[in-house]
Amino acid sequence: MKLSPRDAEGYFARPEPDKTGILIYGGDAMRVALKRQQMLAALLGPNAEEEMRLTRMAAGGLRKDPAQLMDAIKAVGFFPGIRAVFVEDANDQAAPAILAALDEWQPGDAQIVVTGGQLKATSKLRKGFEAHRNAYAVGIYDDPPSRAEIERILGAASIRDVPGDSMSTLTDIANDIGPGDFSRMIEKLALYKHGDASPLSLDDIDAVAPQSTEAALDDLLNVVAEGRSGEIGPLIRRLQSQGTNAVTLCIGATRHFRTLYTCASHPGGAAQGIGRMRPPLYGKRRDRVLRQAQGWGTDRLETALTLLTDTDLQLRSAGQTAPALALMERALIRLAMLSRAR
């Protein structure tokens, strides 16, 4: 039977122990693996591996030894409880052995849990599960996680006091990064909040959220945007020692000031503009960029982008003789002075 993505979320949390099996397939192997892990944990409980109630096998081995799957589902366990056989990375080459096991399955046998890649509608394996009266087939797609799914992940990590602004930020992050990265971030967040009963704050999220740029370049761009011209030289020397060249600095500065302009030029104001940024900005970085955008305004940001465009052309000019980093440093100092102009 087909299971819709909406119904599948509830089923993964509360799988039916008397089902013959389930096929979980999709193009994103990490998403498929996370759903399989969730489903098996809910079906078998925490000690299935130790109690030998979970058997794992690669689908590739079924071509040489198709009987191993039948033997596994019929085996008698040493411990009481539900049993499952997990067949990984299946495709139509493994379909004969898997579909034969579905047909021979009897109540009391181990449940058959199969994962696969992006299976077409014509796939024999997929059609076999979809046509079976006591088994499910679920396609996992690259849709953003629902709020309910994010709440489930947080709940599993014992993070339950999540104010609205923090939930919105987590939703933005979940939509921007892969499911595996998001799960690892929540694991870090759980460790960070261990023993802390206060509500989850934006600062908590910012402490563990993935960073989009190198810290040294961020430091320089913030110094420039905030008009702290005296700090520019030492930061450029630091970046130079790390191998950063003038063109890279110019590209980074242009990207930063274009972000500020995108926020500041939004018809609803910078606060609405920053909410539409993709990829989204989080926590303290979001607050800082918002302050900068509001402080600069669209007119001065247009001037800043023109200055950076001219500098980029100079840096790439064949006739340019001045030291490139000195030229870039002068441009950044001019930007910092422009930020203080009223």
- Could you tell me the residue range of the domain that residue 202 belongs to? 147-208
**Token pair recorded at residue 268:** 């609803």
Q: What is the pLDDT of residue 335?
A: 95
Verify that 61 and 164 share a domain, yes or no: no
User: Does 116 share its domain with 158?
Assistant: no
Domain total of the chain: 3
Beta pairing class for 21-25 and 135-139: parallel
Q: 113 by DSSP, 3-state: which? A: strand
Q: How far is CA 29 from the centre of its chain?
A: 13
The reply to whether 156 and 117 lie within a common domain is no
Same domain, 219 and 198: no
Dump pLDDT digits (tens) for 143-160. Answer: 778 888 899 889 989 999
Give the chain's radius of gyration (CA, Å).
Answer: 27
pLDDT of residue 264: 92
> Which of 251, 224, 241 is closest to 316 using CA atoms?
251
Residues 6+ apart with CB under 8 A from 213: 252
Please report the pLDDT score of residue 85 as a whole number: 97
Answer yes or no: do 200 and 229 share one domain.
no
Question: Percentage of the chain with pLDDT > 90?
Answer: 56
- In this structure, which amino acid lies at residue 212? S
Q: Looking at residue 16, which CATH number applies to its domain?
A: 3.40.50.300
**Positions in the chain whose pLDDT score sits under 50:** 212-213
User: Could you tell me if 196 and 168 lie in one domain?
Assistant: yes
42 within 8 A of 35, measured Cβ to Cβ: no
Query: Residue 149 has what pLDDT?
Result: 85
Amino acid 102: pLDDT: 96
Check the CA dihedral 316-320-321-323 and report its sign.
negative
What is the rounded CA–CA span in Å between residue 224 and residue 231?
A: 9
Helices (H), 226-266: 232-241, 246-264
The model's pLDDT over 73-121, given as tens digits with 9 standing for 90+, comes to 999 888 889 999 999 999 999 999 999 999 999 999 999 999 999 999 9
Residue 332 CB burial class (10 angstroms; 0-12, 13-18, ≥19)? buried
pLDDT value of position 76: 87
CATH classification at residue 240: 1.20.272.10
Res 212: pLDDT: 46
Q: Which residues pair with 116 in a beta bridge?
A: 25, 90
**Residues in CB range of 31: below 8 A, 6 or more apart:** 140, 142, 179
Q: Which two tokens stand for residue 257?
A: 């000031």
Separation in Å, CA 56 to CA 30, 53, 68: 18, 10, 11
Where among 139, 162, 189 does a domain terminate?
139
